[in-house]
């Protein structure tokens, strides 16, 4: 059983997160066009500051031994009724070992609890089949494809 705690992202988490995104492809799969390559601490720090100002939630998932296993985020619309879940990233040492499902499940649950949104959406690249399958298994439904 995978056990971890979600907490709010702190500046000290950013170097670890940066280390999980070694290529442009990894960056785009994780964050779309939010950042430019090469990803650096300045961009992540600015994103963390912007998140704090806008109410976006950034969560690292940390095991009891302090090892970070993943990261996720949630943005809400202006009236707080719809959340957009995303930027899920798993520690490369933990990938394909059963950490994705509990991280996504717990983060979505926390998003509903912490924000009170009525609906949660997300975006996944069409070619990212494994991630799309995971979200489907967790109850998300495909509503369309954006080109």
Dig out the tokens for 102 from the structure.
């509990």
Instruction: For residues 32 and 62, give the distance between their C-alpha atoms in angstroms, rounded to a whole number.
Output: 24
pLDDT, average across residues 118-145: 90
Task: Say which residue the tokens 């960056």 belong to.
Answer: 27
Average pLDDT value for the chain: 93
- The count of other CB atoms within 10 Å of the CB of residue 129 is 10
Dig out the tokens for 15 from the structure.
């170097």
pLDDT of residue 130: 87
pTM summary value = 0.90
pLDDT above 70 (res 147): no
Per-residue pLDDT of 55-73, as tens digits, reads 899 999 999 998 999 999 9
Nearest to 54 by CA among 81, 35, 31, 78: 78
Instruction: For residues 135 and 129, give the distance between their C-alpha atoms in angstroms, rounded to a whole number.
Output: 10
pLDDT above 90 (res 6): yes
**Helices in the chain by DSSP H: which ranges?**
14-19, 24-31, 41-54, 100-115, 129-137
């Amino acid at each position: 059983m995978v056990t971890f705690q979600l907490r709010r992202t702190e500046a000290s988490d950013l170097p670890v997160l940066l280390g999980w995104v070694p290529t442009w492809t990894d960056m785009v799969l994780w964050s779309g066009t939010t950042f430019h390559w090469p990803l650096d601490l300045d961009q992540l720090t600015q994103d963390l500051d912007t998140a704090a100002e806008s109410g976006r939630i950034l969560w690292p998932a940390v095991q009891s031994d302090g090892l970070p296993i993943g990261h996720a985020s949630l943005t809400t619309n202006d009236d707080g009724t719809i959340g957009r879940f995303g930027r899920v990233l798993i520690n490369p040492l933990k990938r394909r070992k059963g950490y994705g499902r509990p991280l996504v499940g717990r983060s979505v649950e926390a998003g509903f609890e912490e924000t009170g949104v009525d609906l949660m959406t997300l975006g996944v690249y069409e070619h990212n089949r494994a991630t799309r399958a995971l979200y489907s298994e967790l109850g998300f439904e495909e509503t369309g494809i954006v080109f």
